[in-house]
Amino acid sequence: MVSVSDAQAIILNLVQPLDHQRDTEVIDLLIADSRILAKPVTSPLDFPHWDNSAMDGYAVRYEDVQHSSENPAVLEIVEDIPAGYQPKSTIQPGQTARIFTGAVIPAGADTVVMQEKTRREKNRVFILDAPKPQEFVRHKASFYQSGTQLLPAGIKLNAPEIAVLAAAQCPKVSVYRRPRVAIFSTGDELMTVEQPLQPGQIVDSNQYALAALVRQIGAEPLLLGIVKDDPVALKKVIAHAVAIADIVLSSGGVSVGDYDYVDKILESLRAKIHIRSVEMRPGKPLTVATFPTQNSPLYFGLPGNPAAVLVTFWRFVLPVIKKLSGITEGWEPAFLKVRSHDELRSNGKRETYLWGKLHLINGVYEFHQADGSQSSGNLINLAQTNALAVLPVGKTLIYPQEEVQVLQLSNS
């Protein structure tokens, strides 16, 4: 049995990011949100593209207006420059141009006086207050210089990055393809959501949970259905999953019961089993394996219990999908330190994950444990939770109002 932190290190070392040349696709920027940029982007455009005004006001020569606070300068307005037009004149001593936010600064001018600091009379304007030199001028290339790196590879494209790419006139972007995650469930007791249940039978909810988790993280679920506790059928499905996926997730059949065949079949397929169980609750039976093939997927034999499936996915599978997806940082789960509203208990023998909800109380997060059983077989009270409190090995009790480490879940 390995510790949770050792398991995380072992697992993360077993996957490599997708290939930045082979595993990419070029897609429309409009549908690129949440995708991972595969190539660095460089732009031939400077930002700003030209010197432009940050205010509605008057473009002036600083030397003409520098004493305006004591003695208002009077300037002749020679041109109106709205945003989107090229100025026609060069500002001479004693002249100014009416200018609007975003408009090009005319030649000769070096400073903008905001309109609130002026008084206009026909084609003359009084400058009532001296500006600072170059005030309210956004200089060409001061935000970004053409030819340098605009965005690095390996970042997630969210609204700000999409906006930057649009501004840089990149209508198409090269992104990593979505990681492919094969999912199947094992167990003679499992039925689909539509089938009537006979005594002893339950619905295969794990397949639905895993499909949702995989899709949420931006990967592609390949649903392979329910497989009986039958070594022949299992072997066939595992071999197929291994051939088509980057990651394989099975649930059930990895414990020590007579019908738990997954590990034996993996061995018969010459898989190397790196982990068989983790010092964690829920989630002790967890098989992690690789195959002696080129581009072997990483195989996770997740526990069957529905709560254990979700918890082990959040703790171990999510970081691996992130690493695989090409994103260059932030794979590991981020823990917050928050106050616990409730008393939290563990037997102290394994790192214990308790599910509940983070509530914002006066702007500070507080963890509230879910009511009802924290049994790994109980799925019902996981609904409407958004966090897992973590009690390390040896910690048996957290008092109300004591600090606790919490894993914030993305389904909040």
Contact residues for ligand AMP (CB under 6 A)? 185, 187, 189-190, 202, 204-207, 251-253, 255, 257, 303-306, 377
Q: For residues 406 and 358, is the Cβ–Cβ distance under 8 A?
A: yes
Among ligand AMP, Mg ion, none, partner that 48 touches (CB below 5 to 8 angstroms by kind) = none
Enumerate binding residues for Mg ion (CB under 5 A). 187, 252-253, 304
Residue 377 sits at the vertex; the CA angle it makes with 3 and 396, to the nearest 5 degrees, is 45
Look up tokens 């931006």; give the residue: 218
Which residue's CB is nearer to ligand AMP, number 253 or number 283? 253
CA distances to 203, 282, 319, 332 from 375, rounded to whole Å, are 18, 8, 25, 26
C-beta of 378: minimal distance to ligand AMP in Å? 11
> Rounded to the nearest whole angstrom, what is the least distance from the CB of residue 253 to ligand AMP in the complex?
5
With 0-12 CB in 10 A as exposed, 13-18 as middle and 19+ as buried, what is 410? exposed
Q: Is 189 exposed, middle or buried (0-12, 13-18, 19+ CB in 10 A)?
A: middle
* Smallest separation, CB 169 to ligand AMP (Å): 48
Q: Which of residues 253 and 282 has its CB atom nearest to Mg ion in the complex?
A: 253
What is the distance between the alpha carbons of residues 318 and 410, in angstroms, rounded to a whole number?
11
Q: Which does 409 bind (CB under 5 to 8 A by kind): Mg ion, ligand AMP, none?
A: none
DSSP state of 189: T
Beta partners for 299? 248, 289
Measured from the CB atom, is 108 or 252 closer to Mg ion?
252
Which of ligand AMP, Mg ion, none interacts with 179 (beta carbon under 5 to 8 A by kind)? none
Q: Among candidates 376, 344, 375, 360, which has minimal Cα distance to 408?
A: 360
CB of 229 to ligand AMP, least distance (A): 8
Q: Which is nearer to ligand AMP, 209 or 321 (CB)?
A: 209
Residue 152 binding: pick among Mg ion, ligand AMP, none (C-beta 5-8 Å cut-off by kind): none
Nearer to ligand AMP, 188 or 402 (CB): 188
